[in-house]
């Protein structure tokens, strides 16, 4: 990313897919952080959830592990299943792995060179995808700051949704929007609450029912003191992840879906790997075999070229 620090768009994610073998043939993803300030990053690995066209990819890595190294080869962090360490930090990124067996690491890194190494647990092998995310939100053209809440069901509800708060550059107001699905019954009320930590409850800071919806369905929240909370207290609660949105329904008067607002990472949906081109049919030529081995292994040799020509592409991968 060659753009300067004031750019309003920025590279947010890099990913690459390959075969994870053992020994020196594990998958390695390197990246470089430039500049003179630390950057908050998340590295994660997909294996069990790899699919193509809705169907699981054959030969995917069933249980990947992840380890992060600095330029001197010093191990900075490692993870097997993402919920075992840093669960709250990874979940707050809004892009946690969707399978508990997939690993992830969140770390604030100084400028420099880094390497992420993917292995299979117990020396297992298979196809894996390594991803690096920039969790620092890029500057917005209007100077605003975006916060997002992933709404989850309470009391066994299948409901879900998303809410966003875009706080203005001057800190005087915010644009609020939300969406939901699969609620068990009609909505009776909805509120933004805070300040509160995860697992705690707090009083109402903003009631959308008392505000006039805009033509696009959003709401304008003009900040004003609420109870003992000053405007500065409200801004501090939003920026520190201590406000949450709650939708109440007739079947769940205390709340059916809820979620805490966290700083948007700028990459809300994990990218789907680009489908590989179809393999050529028939007996591979030496040239086809060489190109194939250059992409699927650490390099061709005479023995591997002969094996590919004899067995074919699919049999070699199997």
pLDDT score for 272: 39
Express as a percent the part of the chain with pLDDT over 70. Answer: 85
Instruction: Note the pLDDT tens digit of each residue in 4-31.
Output: 655 555 666 888 899 999 998 999 999 9
Instruction: Note the pLDDT tens digit of each residue in 217-254.
Output: 889 999 999 999 999 999 999 999 999 999 999 999 99
Which residue spans within the chain are E strands per DSSP?
13-20, 27-33, 39-46, 51-52, 55-56, 64-70, 75-79, 104-109, 112-120, 126-134, 145-153, 160-167, 173-181, 187-193, 204-206, 219-222, 244-249, 257-260, 262-263
* pTM > 0.75: no
Name all domains of the chain by residue range, CATH numbers in brackets: 1-139 (2.60.120.380), 145-263 (2.60.40), 277-318 (no CATH)
| Mean pLDDT across 272-288 | 60
Distance CA 168, CA 171 (A): 5
**Upper half-sphere CA count for residue 163 (Cβ side, 13 Å):** 24
pLDDT score for 267: 43
Instruction: Note the pLDDT tens digit of each residue in 55-107.
Output: 889 999 999 999 999 999 999 999 999 999 988 888 877 788 989 999 999 99
In the numeric block, which tokens belong to residue 45? 């690995």
Q: How many CB atoms lie within 10 A of CB 121?
A: 15
Residues 6+ apart with CB under 8 A from 115: 28, 29, 30, 68, 69, 70
Q: Which residue has the higher pLDDT, 311 or 58?
A: 58
Instruction: Note the pLDDT tens digit of each residue in 57-67.
Output: 999 999 999 99
């Amino acid at each position: 990313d060659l753009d300067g620090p004031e750019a309003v768009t920025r590279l947010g994610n890099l990913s690459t897919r390959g075969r994870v073998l053992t020994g020196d043939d594990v998958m390695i993803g390197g990246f470089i952080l430039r500049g003179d300030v630390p950057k908050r990053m998340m590295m994660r690995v997909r294996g069990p959830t790899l699919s193509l066209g809705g169907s699981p990819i054959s030969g995917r890595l069933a249980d990947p592990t992840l380890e992060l190294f600095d330029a001197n080869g010093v191990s900075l962090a490692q993870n097997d299943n993402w919920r075992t360490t840093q669960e709250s930090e990874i979940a707050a990124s809004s892009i946690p792995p969707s399978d508990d067996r997939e690993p992830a690491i969140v770390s604030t890194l100084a400028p420099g060179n880094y390497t992420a190494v993917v292995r299979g647990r117990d020396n297992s092998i298979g196809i894996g995808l390594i991803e690096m995310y920039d969790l620092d939100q890029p500057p917005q053209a209007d100077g605003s700051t975006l916060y997002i809440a992933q709404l989850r069901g309470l009391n066994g509800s299948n409901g879900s949704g998303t809410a966003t708060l875009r706080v203005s550059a001057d800190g005087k107001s915010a644009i609020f929007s939300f969406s939901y699905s699969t609620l068990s019954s009609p909505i009776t009320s909805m509120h933004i609450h805070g300040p509160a930590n995860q697992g705690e409850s707090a009083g109402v800071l903003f009631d959308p029912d008392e505000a006039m919806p805009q033509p696009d369905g959003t709401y304008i929240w003009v900040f004003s003191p609420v109870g003992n909370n000053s405007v500065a207290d409200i801004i501090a609660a939003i920026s520190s992840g201590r406000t949450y949105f709650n939708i109440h329904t007739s079947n769940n008067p205390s709340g059916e879906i809820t979620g805490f607002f966290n700083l948007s990472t700028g990459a809300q949906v994990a990218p789907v790997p680009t489908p590989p081109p179809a393999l050529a049919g028939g007996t591979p030529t030496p040239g086809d075999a060489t190109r194939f081995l250059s992409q699927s292994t650490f390099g061709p040799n005479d023995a591997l070229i002969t094996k590919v020509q004899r067995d074919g592409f699919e049999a070699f991968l199997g």
